[in-house]
Amino acid sequence: MGIDDPAVVETALDVGYRHLDTAQIYENEAVVGDGLATSSLDREDVVLATKLWIDDLAPERVEASTRESLDRLDVESVDLLYVHRPRGEYDPEGTMQAVASVHEQGLTEHVAVSNFTPEQFETAQAHCDAPLVANQVEFHPLFQQQELLDHAREHDYTIVAYSPLAGGEVFDIPAVQAVAEKHETSEAAVALAWVLSYDNVVTIPKASSRAHLAANLAAADLDLDSGDVERIESIDREMELFPE
């Protein structure tokens, strides 16, 4: 979201990122595709994901819309195709059957959803012949979504956490500050490490400079102990940046 320079994508891949996440509504699929094309990496070395926006979720539009995304990305298929939100033209039965058809045709290796509640996820899966492998949702120290974490474990899918730094709010959270001081690191690193402390969660932090890209990647190596995790879990404040 917000990236308009293919060089940023190329830099991210050079630093070590192997997952590129975009969406139709971000209007940067072509930028991501250009960055991937100019990278020295082979296509199969990168997980490429995009999302169908709510205006293109009518069953008769899903395949055409997917192909339009592939054209902008300049690829034959993506690794992961999301239904971006259960809104607009979304029809659980029709949309998910159309998504399963796109998967069957080989236009995407995997299918997933984004911003779905546990109940919405189950309904979507009931109408989709292909397994839903992920649910991309807002998840950070100020919006922890424990019910969804438990549901993902129970149904064996991955949570893909966006906005892991809570829009910059993590820098001002006393619990996060304390853990950062203890480990002599940044609040951003602590927030990312906390998100990644859950065995069924991965994250997609946003960054554009080489320094921030490298720092975010390095946060995966920060080991928080159980006390650190519990301290952040006990934060008595909730803030959802992107309410449904």
The C-alpha atoms of residue 218 and residue 44 are separated, in whole angstroms, by 23
Task: Determine which one of 17, 26, 82, 162 is catalytic.
Answer: 26
The C-alpha atoms of residue 87 and residue 85 are separated, in whole angstroms, by 5
Is 162 tagged catalytic? no
Number of Cβ within a 10 Å radius of residue 82: 26
- Sheet of 19-21: strand order equals 19-21, 47-52, 78-83, 108-114, 132-138, 158-162, 201-203
Burial of residue 117 (number of CB atoms within 10 Å: 0-12, 13-18, 19+): middle
What contacts 228, CB < 8 A, 6 or more positions away?
A: 179, 182, 183, 190, 194
The C-alpha atoms of residue 16 and residue 148 are separated, in whole angstroms, by 29
Q: Please, what is the Cα angle at 121 between 220 and 89, to 5 degrees?
A: 110
Instruction: Kindly state the DSSP code that residue 107 receives in the 8-state scheme.
Output: S
Residues classed as catalytic: 26
